[in-house]
Amino acid sequence: MVFIAAETVISPLSTKEKLPLVAASRYLNSAPLIWSFVHGSRKGTINLIDPVPARCAQLLEEGAVEAALIPVIEYQRIPDISLIPDVCVGSKGNVRSVVLVTRIQDLREVRSVALDESSCTSAALMKVIFLEFLKVEPKWVTSAPNVDRMLKDHDAALIIGDPAMTFARDDLRIVDMASLWREYTGLGFVFAVWAVRVSEVHKLAHVDFTAARDEGLERIESILSQYEKEIPLSREELKEYLTDDITFHIDENMEQGMKLYFDLAYKHRLIEQVKPSRFVHLTAELR
């Protein structure tokens, strides 16, 4: 399991200038997006902290950071932010790190679900699937991510991130949430996106999140060497996860999936509005 103390600085503070503060969780699925800032050619260009995803969104909303890798649903909840185009943590098939765990075969019989407290987007996705496609509404309870404890009092549990790939599977049914979304919609799913505060764009003008992603994807072997010491899966499994299960680009299929997700979240009153996606090119004007 990979959990670093919340809000730990993992990129060195500069003594020469005040660098922009950026938040991103250190799950394996975000590693290609932050590797360049921590180990690569962009090291020292930002100060990077690593809270869990829900906390990243909270820090951005509070104005405590200039940019953050946030659960995509939080784009609809946080005012005055824009998205970095074509960069995400998403999946077009099995995502493996966002799963529903249960002993019940027919999901329509699930009456209560414990939701990982680290999650925002995945929790909303879970609710959308039950309400829109399964036509049932279980009781939702937020919980620390411990499968045994969650299933002790509830029919099912939502687990995200690295813990979702490493718990014991004995006698449990594992439902991959991205796969289930694709089964019902035919679309990919965006879980997390880089978002920036509109008022702070000038502080991020030199930060190239797209190039950082590209460098990270070129350094997959280095990332594997780091994370295989921390996650009890084989190097081959970790590589398959990063190269086959996760996508870091937003193509038309992914964008359609994101739009449908927002529309359904609004339909079921999980968000108060659906605002259009607003992207910012940090070296250009807002559009």
Cα 223 to Cα 33, 117, 161, 210, 233: the distances in Å are 11, 26, 16, 18, 14
Rounded CA-CA distance 284/205 in Å is 9
Instruction: Report which of 31, 3, 9 is spatially closest to residue 118, judged by C-alpha positions.
Output: 3
Query: 3-state class of 282 per DSSP?
Result: coil
Q: Residue 17: its pLDDT value, please?
A: 57
Amino acid in position 127 = K
Query: 3-state class of 105 per DSSP?
Result: coil
- The one-character DSSP state at 11 is S
What tens digit of pLDDT does each residue of 220-231 get? 999 999 999 999
Tokens of 149: 């404890």
Can you list the domains of the chain with their CATH numbers? 98-185 (3.40.190.10)
What tens digit of pLDDT does each residue of 75-133 get? 999 999 999 999 999 999 999 999 999 999 999 999 999 999 888 899 999 999 999 99
Cα 94 to Cα 35, 166, 181, 210, 279: the distances in Å are 23, 16, 10, 24, 27
pTM for the structure as a whole:
0.89
